Amino acid sequence: MQGKPLNGVETSLKDRLPIQAHTLFEAKAQKQLTFEQIAKEIGRNEVAVAAIFYGQAQTTPEDVENLARVLGVDKSKLEAQMAGYPFRGHTMDMPPKEPLIYRLYEIVQNYGYSYKAVLNEKFGDGIMSAISFSTKVEKETDKDGNNWAVITMRGKWLPFSRF
């Protein structure tokens, strides 16, 4: 049954996700919670919570305790599953095959050099950090009733060093 959703996770990802993903997604489905609801309960951003579920973000002991409480999962089980550091980026093929993720990739393909040129004009030679970084997703509805996705990325500017 390749491609059938498994508790909010595409089954084609099953073997690539860390062990805690299965525990977290199963509990999320049982409780019928959104990432936004979980985020409000644990005091994190909804994108950060989703990143925790996919094994792409580091957790604190407080995060683990709060997730266990909100999701009704055994805390010691989560602690054992979430020990160590995230292994970021290994879940996804490049270029991405999932249409929404591909569209985000396509945005960078189409506008990447434009973003770079404008950022360099505003900040000088450097890069935007993906480590000192935050992001959020919002929904806007225009006067005609059309829904718009608003993705905000906020990264610390890191100027290149002269050596």
pLDDT in tens, 114-141: 899 889 999 999 999 999 999 999 999 9
pLDDT at 99: 86
- By mean pLDDT, which of 30-39, 71-80, 82-91, 138-147 is the weakest? 82-91
| Higher pLDDT pick, 88 / 85 | 85
Q: Looking at 129, 132, 134, 154, which residue is catalytic?
A: 129
Q: Is 161 a catalytic residue?
A: no
Nearest to 27 by CA among 75, 88, 59: 75
pLDDT tens-digit readout, 41-60: 999 999 999 999 988 888 99
Q: Is 26 a catalytic residue?
A: no
User: Considering the chain, what is the average pLDDT of its residues?
Assistant: 88
> What values do phi and psi take at 2, rounded to 5?
-55, 135
Coil, strand or helix at 106: helix
Q: Looking at 69, 88, 103, 154, which residue is catalytic?
A: 103
Contact 52, 63 (CB under 8 A): yes
pLDDT at 2: 44
Q: Is 44 a catalytic residue?
A: no
Rounded mean pLDDT, 8-26: 81
The answer for residues whose C-beta is within 8 angstroms of residue 35's C-beta and 6 or more apart is: 46, 47, 49, 50, 53
The pTM of this model reads: 0.75
Q: Looking at 62, 76, 88, 106, which residue is catalytic?
A: 106
| Higher pLDDT pick, 54 / 27 | 27
